[in-house]
Amino acid sequence: MDFSDLIIDALGLYGARIESYKANKSELKLELQVRQLREHAVCNRCKGPLHSVKDYRKRILRGPPIGAYREVIVHYLRLRAVCHACSGAPELAELRGTHPEVSNLTLALAEMAGRLMEELTCEATARYFRLNSKTMWDLDQWRMRRMKQDLKLPDVDVRLMSADEVHFRTIENNLRQNPFSERWVTKYLTNLVCSKVSKVISNAGGRDTQALATCLKVLPKKTREKIEYFALDMNAGYFKAVTKLCPNAEIAVDRFHLVQELNEAFNDVRKAEFKMAKQRQDEFQTSMLEGGRRFILMERKPRLSIEERNMLGKLKMLNTNINAAMLIVDYFHKVLDKNTIPKFRKALAQWYCLVREAGIKRFRKFARQVRKYRLNIEAYIKSNLTTAVSEGINNKIKVLKRMGYGYTNQESFQLKILQRCGFLNSQFVDTSMWHWHIPHPQ
């Protein structure tokens, strides 16, 4: 094999030879004239041998970069000859090495661009290869759908799982029945995440029982039975789906969402006390209970100066409800810090007593919610599992959405999430032969 044959192999144009070339170093552009060889040519229709060469038809193709030459133009002379197995009329020879979706690209260039689009945007990839961005988008969509047909989930540890929703888009409601109907409709996607490997297993539109059930059904029944703990926020639809499809899984309520509910209860108390202080024209309490200071009041270990600590101590002395609310919040954090079930139950019983003695209705309401999810909180204590991995992936998805300046196609968005945050990429789907040949799906 000489050097020209090696270049033909790199281009993926089997059965051809290079006749001439023209290099432009200033533009990093290389033009090659390639002629198809008769001895390797077959009929484009029946794949039979060709006879009696008539002529050659020129076809312009884009090849992959060669060394420093980023733009490689291939002037391909395609053979046209007689096929006796067909009508006996001249037929074009089969052109191997071009992409089935984007016919002016060679397979080698399409695969290189596809792998680059796993990390970059279609626009950035198009600029690098000096191609059309719409062409790159079409190629990326075809490639993700084609890879999904070949995708087989690797053998991962599914004992710890989590699920969370991510915002897709907000659109105007064109089906409003009356002026008081919601003007905007928000759409979400549900992502099923394996916490052990921090990867998205599957996703589906919506954030209800059906959405999570669709995600879980991607996993075989035996695999779902291996799930021991499942971290969720307090979404009743998610609870229903996990209970039905994962019989051995204990649902752990996410600590972040639980503390978020606690902070909302404290904030409601602060607002009520702030309103009463304003009515009494108590300038000190009004300034201490204003909205900008609520994070200092709720923080477990705030960094305060001596003067600020003295002011906070004075507020606790003057306002018994705020003092009791801060004690309830702080002690609830200590309850969640327990690492064994007996210690947790003992501390929780003491916290219930503290809430009853305080007599604050808003915290009694929160205590009823805690009682409702007590077994799920105990599952968190046993597993220490949260939706932190899912939330981290959600942040990555938000960055992905900003890079694409938003998504309007739900299928495209779901596939891109699986590509960037899951297993739908060349690291887990073997596409090494796609530089030369794309097999038909089985």
Quick one: pLDDT at residue 240? 95
Of 164, 157, 201, residue with least CA distance to 386:
164
Local confidence pLDDT in tens for the 442 residues of the chain: 577 888 888 888 888 889 999 999 999 999 999 988 888 888 777 877 777 788 888 999 999 998 889 899 999 998 888 877 777 778 788 788 888 888 899 999 999 999 999 999 999 999 999 999 999 999 999 999 999 998 888 889 999 999 999 999 988 887 777 777 778 889 999 999 999 999 999 999 999 999 999 999 999 999 999 999 999 999 999 999 999 999 999 999 999 999 999 999 999 999 998 999 889 888 888 888 888 777 777 777 777 778 777 887 888 888 888 889 989 999 999 999 998 999 999 999 999 999 999 999 999 999 999 999 999 999 999 999 999 999 999 999 999 999 888 888 999 999 999 999 999 999 999 998 998 888 765 4
**Counting beta carbons within 10 angstroms of the beta carbon of residue 269, is it exposed (0 to 12), middle (13 to 18) or buried (19 or more)?**
buried
Torsion, Cα of 401, 406, 408, 410 (10° steps):
10
Q: What Rg do the C-alpha atoms of the chain give, in angstroms? A: 32
Q: What is the pLDDT of residue 37?
A: 85
Q: How far apart are CA 52 and CA 359, in angstroms?
A: 99
Q: What pTM does this model have?
A: 0.87
Instruction: Report pLDDT for 1.
Output: 53
Contact 165, 233 (CB under 8 A): no
Q: What pLDDT is recorded for position 373?
A: 94
Q: What is the pLDDT of residue 418?
A: 95
pLDDT of residue 105: 92
What pLDDT score does 50 carry?
Answer: 78
Confidence at residue 383, expressed as pLDDT on a 0 to 100 scale: 92
- Taking 3-state DSSP, the helix, strand and coil percentages for the chain, each rounded to the nearest 5, stand at 50, 20, 30
Kindly report the backbone phi and psi dihedral angles of residue 339, in degrees, each rounded to the nearest multiple of 5, phi listed first.
Answer: -110, 0
Identify the pLDDT of residue 56.
87
Terminal alpha carbon distance of the chain: 34
- Nearest one of 34, 78, 72 to 53, comparing CA atoms: 78
Q: Which residues of 356-390 are buried (b: 16+ CB within 10 A; e: fewer)?
A: eebebebbeebbeebeebeebbbbbbbbebbbebb
Predicted pLDDT of residue 342: 95
Distances from the Cα of 165 to the Cα of 41, 139, 168, 318, 387, angstroms: 53, 28, 9, 43, 11
